[in-house]
Structure 1
Amino acid sequence: MKLTIVIPCYNEKSTIETLITAVKNSPYENKEIIVVDDYSTDGTREILKDRFESLVDRIIYHEKNSGKGAALRTGFQAATGDIVMVQDADLEYDPNEYPKIIEPILQDKADVVYGSRFVGGEPHRVLYFWHRLGNGLLTLLSNMFTNLNLTDMETCYKAFRRSIIQSIEIEEDRFGFEPEITAKIAKKRCRVFEVGISYSGRTYEAGKKIGWRDGIKAIYYIIKYNLFR
């Protein structure tokens, strides 16, 4: 089965080259790489044009900054692989773990797989107590509505059968994607698995973008997509 890796990026000049190289060298051979640049202004776009247009399958350039959800929507629509997976451009997640993440789909046990930072014995950088607490509370609230027992709803690493993800309308343009997609796959009664993954979280000084305001908004999105959609 072919795996499509969708990489949304915005102002990731310091990491994009290393990340794409790591994705290209990841151990799953049959893959398609789609990069969606969300109107970067720090030189990321120029790096992509100068160095990578001939080295990945497709680079799509947004003409305005629209948000991570919008970039993922663009990438999902362009995907041709049997399995579609999200890869952030910030080096927090390890592309070498693709095979174990998609294994439940390859074995026809799952339709969707979440890579959890909070299960299993993989290495994790220790950062931000309040982020961990907030993530746990958001996952708990989401689980109460969806009746799933996820440990990491907000994880970047999500893999989908292409038929599933392309059948879902992604409405949120920014960081509301995670609670939205979780609610919608639950309503579709998809078979959902979790796989433990490693995590090398970065600091705000290194470019981390999600803050406490995004956590407050996530509560709204959880309620919106579970009760009013």
Structure 2
Amino acid sequence: MNISVVIPLLNEQESLTELHDWIAKVMQSNHFSYEIVFIDDGSTDGSWKTISQLASQNEHVKGIRFFRNFGKSQALHAGFEKAKGDVVITMDADLQDNPDEIPELYNMIINDRFDLVSGWKKKRYDSIIAKNLPSKLFNWAARKTSGVKLHDFNCGLKAYRLEVVKNIDVNGEMHRYIPVLSKNAGFVKIGEKVVQHQARKYGETKFGMNRFINGFLDLITIWFLSRFGKRPMHLFGALGFIMFTIGLGFSFYLGIDKLFLNPAGRLITQRPQFYIALSTMIIGTQFFVAGFLGEIILRTKQGKKRYAVKNELNFD
């Protein structure tokens, strides 16, 4: 199979038929063998009914339905598990991503040998204050932190080599950082393509300003995981050693001062250095414990799914 198109969605019933017809037209005109995997992330409108109708009419359409809303990352993870195409294309279901971009994205993966190609919505139709400016700040911070030189990390339109999506774990809200996850997994040939961004045709956006706050928090998380995720003791142990050494130094100072330099002076417990020593040694010990717990969790964690599937359509 040439292409798997993975489409997570939440309450996008109005756009699904038009999106399906558009994708099918592109696939047929380019003679691609394909599948379209819709992942209904707990929609409360008639999205699943529309997906079921499309699946009954077109054997290339497949559907996954969650019991409730688990988030875009979990929806992508479920789609990636089922994808079979040599190239996996992700796009949003709101018609803001243009399916006509698919052939060139496919060629960049197959002919130019990219592991991942990310879309860049250079000209956007979103609100400048609500989305454009925060997005620019977010992308700048992501580039500086991750070392991945992309202009638009959060663009839903991306293309992947199949082995990439099978070897990355997209969870929480890490869908924003799939290029970083791919780089950390060893897939370093990451490209970018300017893609056409279209104004939303139906409904309203499901994302608010809080997604940028969550995005920056996730950026800190992925920075930590990329550097210390496999050996948390390297970070917490180092911090614990530094804090404990500071406390131990103050303790030696207080002991020597009391025993040899100023035996008639104030009690040790009446000096501020005592509380500094006590606090830093306790904090240092806690960092050590955190590092040990992190190592234990890392070695005992199991691959438990973070979502529950209610229905599937057209999967073997």
Fold equivalence (TM over 0.5): yes
Q: Distance in 2 between matches of 1:53 and 1:70?
A: 25
Matched ranges for 1:114-129 at <5 A: 114-118=118-122, 124=123, 126-129=125-128
Please report how far the alpha carbon of residue 15 of structure 1 lies from its aligned counterpart in structure 2 after TM superposition: 0.7
TM-score (norm 2): 0.66
Matched-pair contact (CA < 8 Å) for 2:115–2:161:
yes
Give 1:59 shift: 1.1
Partner of 1:47: 50
**RMSD between aligned alpha carbons?**
1.8
Which residue identity does 1:208 align to in structure 2? Answer: T
- Does the aligned pair in 1 maintain the 2:182–2:188 contact within 8 Å? yes
What residue number does 1:193 align with? 191
Give the superposition deviation at 1:144.
0.8
- Report how far residue 189 of structure 1 moved: 4.5
In structure 2, how many angstroms separate the alpha carbons of the residues matched to 1:194 and 1:108?
Answer: 12
**2:180 aligns with one of 175, 179, 183:** 183
Given that 1:83 and 1:160 are in contact with CA atoms closer than 8 Å, whether structure 2 keeps it comes out as yes
CA distance in 1, matches of 2:146, 2:174: 16
Distance 1:127 1:65, change over 3 A: closer
Residue 204 of structure 2: which of 207, 210, 218 is its match?
207
**What TM-score comes out, normalization by structure 1 length?**
0.89
Given that 1:37 and 1:60 are in contact with CA atoms closer than 8 Å, whether structure 2 keeps it comes out as yes
2:217 to 217, 220, 223: 220
Offset at residue 182 of structure 1 (A): 2.6
Unpaired runs of 5+ in structure 2? Answer: 230-316
Give the equivalent residue in structure 2 for 1:137: 137
**What residue is the counterpart of 1:110 in the other structure?**
114
Q: Output the CA distance in 1 between the equivalents of 2:114 and 2:179.
A: 14
**In the alignment, residue 110 of structure 2 is paired with which amino acid?**
L
Question: Tell me, which stretches of 5 or more residues in structure 1 are unaligned?
Answer: 119-123
Higher helix share: 2
- One-letter identity of the residue aligned with 1:38: D
Q: Deviations over 1:24-61 (max 9, x none)?
A: 11144222211111121111111222343341331111
Where does residue 81 of structure 1 map in the other structure?
85
Report SS of the residue matched to 2:13.
coil
Counterpart pick for 1:33 among 36, 41, 61: 36
Structure 1 residues 51 and 100: alpha-carbon distance in aligned structure 2, compared to 1, 3 A threshold? closer
Higher relative contact order (CA 8 A, sep 6+): 1
Cα deviation for residue 202 of structure 1 reads 2.3
> Which residue is 1:71 aligned to?
75
Question: Alignment length, in residue pairs?
Answer: 220
1:92 aligned to which of 76, 93, 96:
96
CA contact (8 A) 1:113 1:193 kept: yes
CA distance in 1, matches of 2:91, 2:193: 15
Identity score, percent: 25
Contact 2:38 2:62 in 1 (8 A): yes
- Structure number, greater radius of gyration: 2
Offset at residue 162 of structure 1 (A): 0.9
